[in-house]
Amino acid sequence: MDFEFPEDIVKAREKAAEFARKEISSNKALMYDREEKFPEELKKKAFEYGIVDYTNPWSMLVTIEELCRADPGMGIAATVSLFGAEVIMLFGNDSQKTKYLGAVQNGEMMMGLAVTEPGGGSDVAGIKTTARKEGNRYIINGSKMFITNGTMADFFVMLVRTSNPEDGKRHHGLSTFIVPGNLPGFSRTKITGKLGVRATNTAELVLNNVEVPAENLIGEEGKGFYYIMTFFNISRAYVAAQAIGIAQGALDRVLGYLSELQSKGASSTITEEIQMTASDIATRIEASRLLTYKAASYLFQFRPNPTITSMSKAYAAETAVFATEKALEITGYSGINGDLERFFRDAKIMEIWEGTSEIEKLIIWRNLIKEAQGGN
Amino acid sequence: MSMEEQDILRSAVIEFAEKNIANSAVAIERTGITDDLAVSLAAQGFLGAALPTEVGGAGIDRQGYAVILKELASYSPSVSVLVLITGSIAGRLLEKKADSLLGRIATGEESFAVSLWPATDGSGSAGELKISGNKIRGTRRYVIGRPGGCLVAVTDDGKLVLVKSGFSLSDEDHHLSFRGLKYSVASIDSAHYEVISSNGAETMERILSGMDLEISAIALGIARGALAKTVDYTKVRKTFEKPLKDYSTVANNISRLMSELSVAEIALQGSGEMNETEMLMLKVHATDLAKRATKYSLQYHGGYGYIEDFGVEKFYRDAVGLTILLENQAADGMRLSKEVFGEKSGYL
């Protein structure tokens, strides 16, 4: 067993860190946060620099870590323009892949995943948006909430209900469609006033008799829930990487602050309690990394392990919240007046999006008990 | 103040808050506490509640004052901290210097702002502020309170000064906590100032550490506000076709936090019998509870908790900010350890 990354992934991490040093500064991050503005230029440069490449998932994982370490809002914004692409990669047909994937992979287009609705976040099978088939098109009605890239995406992978399940199983009868954002009847409203990740674009979508050609159906009708759950298994590893980046960024700043205190001859103020807290943050980050890399290892070899993935996402998210809160406690006024207050606000979403920590723990439990009862 | 009197006062504060704050709590976070609200707080006697009657204050005791702070904080921690700044901080800083000024502050005629920075941080990032000849010149950051009146700050050489005119306040942006107070940068160039104390940092530290009960009240108000919203929300929000409150994790976590909160509130109500150590212990408990309660509150509101319209995220921010801006946790830890062990402890 070797815990070291191969050279190409090490280089990908270095390249991402170099890009972050060059393009992400505290002042820029503060500006995008304050103005709730998407860093379009940064996203463009990230593609030009060659660090956004989801066909190389290991490189992407460490890139996300490094960019979020510099600034979570900007880091996520720079790497999230392909959000949901895996659904098309895995389940779309050749025509859909040609038409949509190439353009998002080279940064010309942006996409989003539209699953969550105003009345339901965790309960994916409870969605109310419907698609009714009429001839060779589907008519979509409903609304989606908290959609990343919502007002900017050129198209969405959208989960809708196409039939009412006769067997009473709510996760049956759901389907996924590619829905362009400019269709008549499709309105999008940016959500402002978020606690954190304010450089990312989030919106509410309303669909009123939106007509989508039948060719935009991804895979088979009725299998959408399965496709989306498969996607979440992948995306949760990336969210774990975001969370690790946030926690590492917080630790970097704590160590910078404490080093400065030491150099000013104020070592006596760095009590044992502070030393141990910093050690706890570092230990949790390392544990999060090991879990996440293990989850990614299963995933990227096409044998996903949902238990490990959920463990990694939940644990890394909790680590981000823990690390940023403790970092603020240690750094006090200095932290509250610098990057750390933003990191603290950004961190909390990690425990909420892409499956709340509660949902992750329920997934872990279900798999554990299934295994204990002899399932596989 | 008796329990009955506290209950009457509590009802009055809640009635005021329902009328003047409940519907504008989000706007307060976005654009700051309005002059109208400050005038209403003064007219109701809350702004000068803790100031002595001789200067026009209400002369209320600390228990009554804690009731006001806690109930206001459950609607808007920013408003509660404004009352704290005006009542406790201004009152204690200016008690021997400017009775007429205090009177005007109590009635809302004069506003008061203070830079707390040097009291709890020695990083030197507060800006430069020096007395030279008959003038005081420089800047101070992290000024909180209302503009247009007087300013208290500590100079670079440690003097606590009251600047009565000749300064301007410009907004700093988007800070973590108590956004309704609109943090400012003070640019000072004035001959109209008064040295209150030659040992400003110590004076400020002493004032902060003398507000354990008041900080406890604000922390418990934050916890109460967040948990009340969470109880309401989890009753109506359904997931997997059941209300959130039907799930044992949600119900038990919220109920346990409510239990802790209720016990702390009972202690606060009986704080007239408390000594300084017990007040410190209550503060340590209350501030920790506020952080945990607001974290669960935001979590159980999901995505909606993450946006300001729901009024939950402010509690999450303010619970953490309270322990940094208005508390010196390291000093409190030492104070508590000294009381517990009977001698200096916990400094290594």
Q: What is the ipTM of this complex?
A: 0.94
B85-124 pLDDT, tens digit per residue, is: 888 888 888 776 556 788 888 787 888 888 876 544 545 5
Q: Is residue A103 part of a domain?
A: no
Q: Do A64 and A125 fall within a single domain? A: no
Q: What are phi and psi of B341, to 5 degrees?
A: -95, -10
CA distance B181 to B143: 9
Residue type at A23?
A: E
Tens-level pLDDT at each residue, chain B (348 residues): 888 999 999 999 999 999 999 999 999 999 889 989 999 999 999 988 988 888 878 889 999 999 999 999 999 999 999 999 888 888 888 776 556 788 888 787 888 888 876 544 545 566 788 998 889 999 888 888 777 788 998 888 888 899 988 998 887 766 899 999 888 888 999 888 989 888 888 888 888 888 999 999 999 999 999 999 999 999 999 999 899 999 999 999 999 999 999 999 999 999 888 999 999 999 999 999 999 999 999 999 999 999 999 999 999 999 999 999 888 888 899 999 999 999 999 999
Each residue of B188-205: pLDDT tens digit?
998 889 898 888 888 888
C-alpha dist (Å) from residue B187 to A3, B106, B125, B165: 55, 25, 15, 11
CA torsion sign, B306 to A316 to A273 to A331? Answer: negative
- Is A328 domain-assigned? yes
The range of the structural domain enclosing residue A120 comes to 108-222
Q: Which residue of A has its CA nearest to B174?
A: A34
Q: Active-site residue numbers of A?
A: 354
Whether A75 and A137 map to the same domain: the answer is: no
Same structural domain, A142 and A113 = yes
User: Do A279 and A311 share a structural domain?
Assistant: yes
DSSP, res A120: B
In a domain, A100, yes or no: no
Give every CB contact of residue B50 below 8 A, 6+ residues apart in sequence. Answer: B57, B58, B60, B62, B65, B87, B88, B91
Q: How many structural domains compose chain A?
A: 3
**Same-domain pairing of A120 and A56:** no
Q: How many residues does chain A have?
A: 376
B135 vs chain A: nearest CA distance in angstroms? 28
Q: Domains of chain B by range and CATH?
A: 3-106 (1.10.540.10), 112-199 (2.40.110.10), 210-341 (1.20.140.10)
Same structural domain, A60 and A171: no
Which pTM was predicted?
A: 0.95
The 10 Å Cβ neighbour count of residue B147 is: 18
Q: Residue A234: which region, alpha, beta or left (left: phi > 0; alpha: psi -120 to 50)?
A: alpha
Q: Which of A333, A334, A340, A342 to mutate to test the interface with B (most CBs of B within 10 A)?
A: A333
Residues of B within an 8 Å Cβ radius of A? 30, 117, 120-121, 123, 125, 141-142, 173-177, 238-241, 249, 291, 295, 298-299, 302-303, 305-309, 313, 316-317, 320-321, 323-325, 329-330, 333, 346-348
Contact list in B for residue A121 (CB cut-off 8 A) is 239, 302-303
* Backbone CA torsion sign across B90, B96, B97, B99: positive
